[in-house]
Structure 1
Amino acid sequence: MNRDPAPLIVNDNGAWCWFQDERALVDPATQTLVVGSIAAPEGPGGEARAGNVELSVVDLRAGTSETVVLHERLESDDHDVPALWRRADGRWLAVYTRHKTDDLTRWRVSEPGDPTRWGPEKAFDWSVLTGGAGVTYSNLRSIGGRLYCFARAVNDDQCALVSDDDGDTWAYAGKLFTRPKVGYVNGYTRYDGDGDRVDLITTDHHPRDYDNSIYHGYIEKGVLHRSDGTVVDADALSGEAPSQVELTTILQAGSRWDGVRISHCWTTDVRQGTDASVAAVLTARAGEEEHLERRKAHPDLRFFYARMAPGGEWTVHELAKAGPGLMPHEEDYTGLASIDPYDIDSVYVSTSVDPRDGSVLAHHEIFHARTGDGGATWTWTPVTENSDVDNLRPIAAPGDPSRVPLLWFRGEMTASQHYRCEVVLRDLPRED
């Protein structure tokens, strides 16, 4: 990847979690990029701006950015970042929640074609369903002409709201999975796809509480399937929900890679290919048995690349080392990775270990990885080098197949609630 020109700073105070999508989206007609983020008290604006739910609205032609506040001082937590949707009528939809500290899914709808102007905030109250236990995350996906917002809600399971008017109003759809809760919550799920089929990957619980495996399934015509098409739930989101363990296991906790046991797996990204294939990036601890007595961030986290061929057969390869946990109290946090939404052979990875030679880096850098054999081997190109700060959580924004708008945030992050980071963009035309 050509590393020129220099990245554009699109927001001087922001970060995001990775269980909401789409967090960034391009309108190809107007060449407008919109990305959501949450301002922190350590950044510019301090406490007066802390917890703002913000959108950076970028004019890709002019290379300029405008910051729009959806909700002032909602909560200083990167889990509150909005999910975005471009409606058929030219308006934008933004949906967001707090991090399990209230029971409201909030949303706003923009003026036609203008993501800098927004209508009033509305909210769906989950409390009668959750008993006041809170809701987290928003994922907007269309299935069979209906818009769904997947969230972690009832019993901290994956649930959904549904809208038949493109997000003007919402109703409870039901639970996707359920199981007895262990520790903090049940399962971390990533979604991709719109139209007839949505693919998903998910875990058992939080990796600090449970030795997770990773599972895959898909929803098509209201039916939840395993990877090979076997029906798991003939009426998904209705009645009793199955456990996610009934889906296809794609990365097994306790499996060994080059003799090293991997454990506590976590979902990172998933994208559909153009030929009914699916790609996923997953993380796991490596060699945990050698470090059980250490009370600090796990020193060896790994990225894995999983590829499903049409028909449902998975192959999994180790992608790269991710380095130690990003924070001492969140030992499974990594710099993350993003699959190109229009080219699943292309992945952007944030790591503190150079994937070309295994050398330890001073900070997390972003690398572009390309495979020509389904993930067995990779060619690596640095996107950032010799940085003075960490470069974290890349997003390859969808919306315009002709370009690769790559976003990340850079700076210092000590917690999901505390960081001094700026959001940057490197926008390049897609190479043939």
Structure 2
Amino acid sequence: MARAVHRPHPPPRSRARRDGAPRFHRHSGRGALRGAALGGLAGRRVAGRGARLPRQCRHVADAIAPGSRPGRKAGPCGPGSPPPARGQQPVRSAAVAGAAAALSALPLPPAPNRGGAAMAPREVVLNDDGGWCWFQDERALVHRGALLVGSVACGSREPARRGDIELTRYDLATGEIHRTTLHEGLEADDHAAPALLELSDGRVLATWTRHGSEARLYWRTTEGSDSRRWRPPRAYEPSPSTRITYSNLHRLSEENDRIYCFFRGLDDSYKPSWCFSDDGAASWKRGGILIDVPGPARHRPYVKYASDGRGAIHFLFTEAHPRNFDCSLYHAVYRDGSLHRSDGALIRRLGEGPMIPAEATRIHTGGPDSVAWCQDLALDSRGRPVAAYSVQVGDGGRPQKEHGRDHRYRYARWDGRRWLDSQIGYAGSRLYPGEDDYVGGISLHPDDPSTVFLSANVNPASGAPLPGGRWQVFQARTPDGGRTWEFLQLTRDPHRDCLRPIVPAWQPGRTALLWLRGRCHAYTRYELEVVLQVR
């Protein structure tokens, strides 16, 4: 469908929405999906079969690719149809939304500069309804002068958006905000957030999945390098029994730009798995299971991934969900077709079967009073891995209902010979009952892993509760490889939580800090907005 681009206008001096909620330009993009409507055979690409039509085409029974069914023709709103007229675009309050979206793209005025104090960086609400968890990456990407951010709408502001997989584009020069719906109504679950990757030809790839309830990996690519224009969606099924959760994308230039997508659940295994593309995301091929945990229990290792973009992909992982296991933390690396320990010792070829945790390098030893969960992984200037993780402490002798009252953030880096592991600070309590290991979240700065951004409902230096008990975002820096830390509080919101901060790679001296602001009651029920602070 046609796409409208709204140019920012000079902001009115004193007029603002009373509720403070920004409006946005929104469009579904050509071929947007509704629900899990794609079908197809195992291992085949599926292009829009059975997809629910855009709102302006609901009078058409279905959209069918030409030639896909005898006796049926693609209707005026089916594949290959000309784009609808501008007035048919699914843009709400078109006359107002353009100016409001432009206004919302303009940063809020900074706090007054009194007494020579440094002025606070400006904040921008990029999306008024969005969530993500921390096991799909990259959730944000700087691409051709624009910041791209993927998220899942929960319908907290507009029920019609519930379960929409969305991509927000923020022009870093003009402040223009442009939102594309990659998939309408898939699932209101933060596990479904998309992963983003820039391809070798300048296009952007987005992949996303349901939360373990079907076999499909969904994906779309941009039309050329314009991140406002997206090709129709497709889906890939590694096998009929696969139950996919998460997607993590990495491209290796030394392997002829092969794209790896890491997910969970090949062949209903519940295990970290992988597939790959050798044709620029035109198609996908089945890989295998990456990590297995032998034993009678059906454990699910959790993994964070980091790559140098050339020939190496690093893995930071646990044996299981910390709810079910006193998790330790491990590292391994893929290089030259094989899996290796941190010191380079060979484990096995990638295609020869999964590794088990005991074959990798152990960073942290878990126990009843020290249960680890991986949070982030990055590479330093020498290509060495740096890890951030959380630990639930002191719960070994407590009743289950009292678990999750004390978490710590930790930092580990590989110095070329060994892992140096130290505490960053206090993380506070569990985010909500039922998920005792959910914390506010911590991310490493990908351009400078000696800086982290964390969310806590306590002072990370002392553990003292914060006023109001809300989670706030802090910056922490270490001048000595993790032995000591300096903290700076970045948010002070007395009524809303500031959660799951992330930072995409950008350029030296520039930081695009993102977080989720509002309330998170569960991974399927939240009132969160996506906030940007450019530093």
Q: Same fold (TM over 0.5)?
A: yes
Mean CA deviation greater in 66-75 or 357-366: 357-366
1:6-405 to 2 correspondences below 5 Å: 6-27=122-143, 30-41=144-155, 43-46=156-159, 48-128=160-240, 131-132=241-242, 134-143=243-252, 144=255, 145-154=257-266, 155-180=269-294, 185-193=299-307, 194-233=309-348, 235-236=349-350, 238-254=351-367, 262-291=369-398, 293-309=399-415, 311-361=416-466, 362-405=469-512
- Does structure 1 retain, via aligned residues, the 8 Å contact 2:294–2:356? no
- Secondary structure of the residue aligned to 1:156 is coil
Measure the CA separation in 2 of the matches of 1:64 and 1:185.
45
> Is 1:3–1:383's contact at 8 Å kept on the other side of the alignment?
no
Q: 1:268, 1:283 within 8 Å by CA — same for their partners in 2?
A: yes
Which residue identity does 1:348 align to in structure 2? F
| Structure 1 CA distance for aligned equivalents of residues 463 and 119 of structure 2 | 21
Offset, 1:243:
0.9
Secondary structure of 1:391's partner? strand
C-alpha contact (below 8 Å) 1:229/1:312 kept by paired residues: no
Compute the displacement of 1:72 (Å): 0.2
Structure 2 match to 1:258 = none
Q: 2:441 is aligned with what amino acid?
A: L
Residue 253 of structure 1, CA deviation: 0.5
Letter in 2 for 1:339: L
- CA distance in 2 between counterparts of 1:10 and 1:150 reads 27
Relative distance call for 1:312 and 1:374 in structure 2 (3 A) is: same
CA contact (8 A) 1:99 1:136 kept: yes
The code of the aligned residue for 2:251 comes to: S
One-letter code of the match for 1:98?
R
The change in CA–CA distance for 1:356 and 1:283 in structure 2 (over 3 A counts) is closer
In the TM superposition, residue 159 of structure 1 has moved relative to its aligned partner by 1.1
Matches of 1:214 and 1:65, distance apart in 2:
39
- Residues 230 and 125 of structure 1: CA distance in aligned 2, closer, same or farther (over 3 Å): same
For structure 2, list consecutive stretches of 5 or more residues without a partner in the other structure.
1-116
Residues in 1 aligned to 2:499 and 2:470: alpha-carbon distance in whole angstroms: 10
What amino acid is the match of 2:527? Answer: R
* Structure 1 SS opposite 2:470: strand
Residues 155-191 of structure 1: CA distance to partner in whole angstroms, max 9, x if unpaired?
A: 1111111111121211012221223477664200001
Task: Indicate how the Cα distance of structure 1 residues 181 and 268 shifts in structure 2: closer, same or farther if over 3 A, else same.
Answer: farther
Matches within 5 A, 1:409-428: 409-428=516-535
The residue type equivalent to 2:275 in the other structure is L
Q: Which residue of 1 aligns with 2:91?
A: none
Whether the 8 Å CA contact 1:350–1:392 is kept in 2: the answer is: yes
1:125-159 C-alpha deviation (Å, 9 max, x unpaired): 1333xx25x11110101233311001112211111
Distance in 1 (CA, whole Å) between partners of 2:493 and 2:217 is 41
Give yes or no for contact 1:183–1:209 (8 Å, CA) kept in 2.
Answer: no
- Residue 402 of structure 1 deviates from its aligned partner by 4.4
Compared CA separation, residues 252 and 76, structure 1 to 2 (3 A):
same
**Equivalent AA in structure 2 for residue 287 of structure 1:** G
Q: Deviations over 1:210-233 (max 9, x none)?
A: 111000011111111111111111
Cα distance change of structure 1 residues 284 and 395 upon mapping to structure 2, 3 Å threshold: same
Bigger proportion of residues as strand: 1
CA 1:386–1:74 in structure 2 vs 1: closer, same or farther (change >3 Å)? closer
Q: TM-score, normalised by structure 2?
A: 0.74
Distance 1:114 1:146 in 2: 22
Cα distance in 1, alignment partners of residues 292 and 427 from structure 2 = 31
1:284 & 1:158 partners in 2: Cα distance? Answer: 21
Q: Which amino acid in 2 is paired with 1:140?
A: L
2: CA distance between counterparts of 1:276 and 1:22? 18
| Structure number, greater radius of gyration | 2
Give 3-state SS (helix, strand or coil) of 2:401's partner: coil
Structure 1 residue runs without a partner (length 5+):
255-260
Q: What are the superposed Cα offsets for residues 360-379 of structure 1, whole Å, 9 maximum, x if unpaired?
A: 01210111000011101001
* Alpha-carbon separation, structure 1, partners of 2:226 and 2:520: 32
Shift of 1:111: 1.0
* CA distance in 2 between partners of 1:401 and 1:289 (Å): 44
Secondary structure, aligned partner of 1:295: helix
Distance 1:276 1:87 in 2: 21
- Identity of paired residues, percent? 37
* Aligned residue in 2 for 1:257: none
1:356 CA drift (Å): 3.4
The answer to whether the 8 A contact 2:189-2:524 is kept is yes
CA distance in 1, matches of 2:284, 2:312: 21
Find the aligned partners of 1:2 and 1:169 in 2 and give their Cα distance: 50
Give the TM-score, by structure 1 length: 0.92
CA contact (8 A) 1:148 1:161 kept: yes
